[in-house]
Amino acid sequence: MSFVYALLCVEIIGVTSLLAVARCLKYKFSLSEFFSLAFFCGLAVVSIEFLISSLSGIKYNFAHVLILLLTASIFLVVFFVVPSRKSFSVDLSFEVGFKTLSLLEKIFILGIVFQVIWVVFLSLPMPVDAHDAVANYALKAKMFYFAGGIPHGFFNFSEDLVAHPDYPILLPAVMNWVYQFTGFEYIGINMIMPVIFTAFIILFYSLVFKIFSRTYALGASFLLATIPQVAAYAGIIHTDLVLAAFVSCAFLYFFLFLKNNDGDALLLSALFFGFSLWVKNEAVVFTAAFLAVCSSAILSRERPHAGSLRKILLPVLIVILIAMPWFIVKTKYGVVNSDLDVSKVSAVSILLNIKEIPAMLNLFQQEVFGPKKWNIFWVLFFAALIWKRKTLFKDENKYVSLFLGLSVVGYFIGYMAITGGNLYFYINTTISRFMIHFTGICAFWMVWLIWDKKFLFLDRDGVICAEKGGEGKDVYITRWEDFNFLPKVLEALAAANTAGYECVVISNQQCVGKGYISQPELDQITRKMEERIIKAGGRLAKVYYCPHLKSDGCVCHKPKIGLFEKAKRDLDIADFSRKYYYVGDAERDMEAGSKAGLKTILVLTGKTKRGDEKNWIYKPDYVAADLLEAVGIIMHSKL
């Protein structure tokens, strides 16, 4: 029971820490997401506090732990009493009815539960016993416990005394925390890993569920939980699974930012990448890749201005602040990795090792595709990449590709830098474990690539912006000053994005063909429109215009469906099959949408008055007062 209390206290500290952060956000947490995220926050906060208090000379014992808990409890009370400045929320609805689950969902849940129970069964009676687990983490935790903190001179201990004193201390610090409750023991401490594994799967599911349907999210979670290597490391005290948990969840928050333009998700992502630096040195590669890709994403989506620069700098600042205590310690004590002394890495040493690349690639493919028990996952993953190769560099996928590419390159450079004729040894002993670091991200991306995404197609004038009215040239919007968003449109687009819909505009703009506006000028109006939508929390995936005159006889001028066909090709949609909607304000929109194979919704914010559609040949499937109501219809309809 002491063990359970120890982890409950980690949860309390985590909840307190997360509430402190969440009060600055408007993010909406699900219940499972909040508590599983809080657990990981608790792990990180416990280890950061341990380092700081040890270096301050404060004795680390049970009294210390109690003071920390008391402080956390006081803050918890304060948080409930003092209202938050922003409106973050936790969705307390929690579906527990087993009857509402489909057979497939029940199978997935039972599979995950069985895997967790199986991992517990494997871990419960075992002492810490794998090589690195004993040499590195268990020995350090024992040192910390008996010394009442980090022993004097620890960071300069020789490798004969303890392996890799340069390693981040999250895992031994957490083990030491548990020992404060249980006393030092050889048996039972292994159980930390099944708990971390379970929290990982729950948080993974919670985040994936924000993107996919419940069935798909459960399927992805089942896939991840049952990868044999992942499950195996759920019973061994190694940091590889812990790093995978932090990096995967950090990346999923980053993906939520990419998809929904949710700035709060970006901050949570930065928080987690910062925490990951306390887990394992390899987190530096992932964090650097994240900061690079994040900056690239922000700059490519927004024109550089104060707001976008702030968006880039804030994650950098968060990562630096969280990592700072650890890096100060490493710098102060001159701690270097015995395998990889970065100061000795040079362009020359990397160039000399370039000849090792064929050998490395050969070893890599043996590890990934060789007849080992978990490689079926990597075979499926690479098969999915090949199947969906045309979409790998489109939309959010290009940032995922960039992130993974940079991370893999970082790992390879690391191997090249540390090999001195020992390439075979290092690859053999580490690559299998290191691939676990990528597993969560790759499991998610594989499912994302093969997932049939949801799209919402819509017209522009009369749906997003007000029709200008007037006659002749005055009918057309030729300047940004003439562009006025209709009421509740920004809210509607944000709601659609949050619900997982990619919004695509398909619109006739024959003002270009008539010479009233040039294509670059139209593009500028579009860019400003997109920036306003992004600011309001939404995003347009694609914008298609027909610039031709109706008399040109092109295939893209509505009610012809040329632009719809182009959208299908670009978005990798095999067939609309009336699975998607087109929202328009005129009969030609209904005709175009119907002919293209879409369901149609007529909004009354443009040319059409209620009742006009009754005389049309192509009647809409639904009529809505405005785009917001149309989005509501779509979200509540069953496909």
Longest dimension (CA), the chain: 88
Q: Which stretch binds another protein (CB under 8 A): 78-86, 277-285, 311-319, 450-458?
A: 450-458
Number of H helices, E strands in the chain: 24, 8
- Residue 142 CB, nearest distance to another protein (Å)? 5
Closer residue to another protein in complex, CB, 447/465: 447
- Residue 46 CB, nearest distance to another protein (Å)? 22
**Residues annotated as part of the active site:** 459, 461
Asked if residue 325 binds another protein (CB under 8 A), the reply is no
- Residue 489 CB, nearest distance to another protein (Å)? 25
SS3 content of the chain, % helix, strand, coil (to 5): 65, 5, 30
Asked if residue 321 binds another protein (CB under 8 A), the reply is no
Give phi and psi for 454, each to the nearest 5. -100, 135
Instruction: Map residues 166-195 to x or -, x wherever contact with another protein holds by CB under 8 A.
Output: -------------------xxx--------
Counting Cα atoms < 13 Å in the Cβ hemisphere of 391 gives: 21
**Residue 547 contacts residue 562 (beta carbons within 8 Å):** no
8 closest CA partner among 80, 72, 64, 63: 72
Give phi and psi for 603, each to the nearest 5. -105, 145
Closer residue to another protein in complex, CB, 174/268: 174
Asked if residue 566 binds another protein (CB under 8 A), the reply is no
- Residue 187 CB, nearest distance to another protein (Å)? 4
Distances 573 to 236, 376, 597, 600 between C-alpha atoms, Å:
43, 27, 12, 18
- Interface with another protein (CB under 8 A), residue total 47
Neighbours of 105 (CB within 10 A): 18
**Residue 506 contacts residue 544 (beta carbons within 8 Å):** yes
Instruction: Map residues 337-376 to x or -, x wherever contact with another protein holds by CB under 8 A.
Output: ------------------------------------xx-x
- Residue 228 CB, nearest distance to another protein (Å)? 5
- Residue 533 CB, nearest distance to another protein (Å)? 24
- Residue 153 CB, nearest distance to another protein (Å)? 11
Q: Is the dihedral of CA 584, 590, 591, 597 positive or negative?
A: positive
Tokens matching residue 426: 């290092």
Closer residue to another protein in complex, CB, 6/130: 130
Q: Which amino acid is at 304?
A: P
**Rounded Cα distance, 181 and 4, in Å:** 9
- Only one residue has tokens 């499972």, namely 32
Closer residue to another protein in complex, CB, 63/639: 639
- Residue 137 CB, nearest distance to another protein (Å)? 10
Closer residue to another protein in complex, CB, 579/619: 579
Asked if residue 230 binds another protein (CB under 8 A), the reply is no
CA torsion, points 270, 274, 276, 280, in degrees to nearest 10? Answer: 140
Candidate residues 93, 96, 160, 569; the one interacting with another protein per rule CB under 8 A: 160
Asked if residue 423 binds another protein (CB under 8 A), the reply is no
Asked if residue 581 binds another protein (CB under 8 A), the reply is no
Asked if residue 226 binds another protein (CB under 8 A), the reply is yes
- Residue 511 CB, nearest distance to another protein (Å)? 36
Instruction: Map residues 197-216 to x or -, x wherever contact with another protein holds by CB under 8 A.
Output: ----------------x-xx
Asked if residue 379 binds another protein (CB under 8 A), the reply is no
Asked if residue 12 binds another protein (CB under 8 A), the reply is no
Q: Verify cis geometry, omega within 30 degrees of 0, for the bond prior to 547.
A: no
Task: Enumerate residues 67-126 that contact another protein by CB under 8 A.
Answer: 111, 118, 121-122, 124-126
Candidate residues 19, 38, 45, 138; the one interacting with another protein per rule CB under 8 A: 138
Closer residue to another protein in complex, CB, 139/392: 139
Residue 42: partners with Cβ closer than 8 Å, 6 or more residues away: 10, 11, 12, 13, 14, 15, 17
Geometric angle at alpha carbon 377, from 375 and 378, rounded to 5°: 70
Closer residue to another protein in complex, CB, 127/487: 127
Q: Which stretch binds another protein (CB under 8 A): 31-39, 323-331, 445-453, 538-546?
A: 445-453
Closer residue to another protein in complex, CB, 212/434: 212
Terminal alpha carbon distance of the chain:
48
Tokens matching residue 246: 């932090």
Geometric angle at alpha carbon 47, from 43 and 52, rounded to 5°: 150
The secondary element (H helix, E strand) that includes residue 502 is: strand 501-508
**Rounded Cα distance, 233 and 192, in Å:** 12
Binding residues for another protein (CB under 8 A): 111, 118, 121-122, 124-131, 134-135, 138-139, 142-143, 146-147, 160-163, 185-187, 213, 215-216, 219, 223, 226, 228, 373-374, 376, 380, 450-452, 454, 574-575, 577, 579, 639
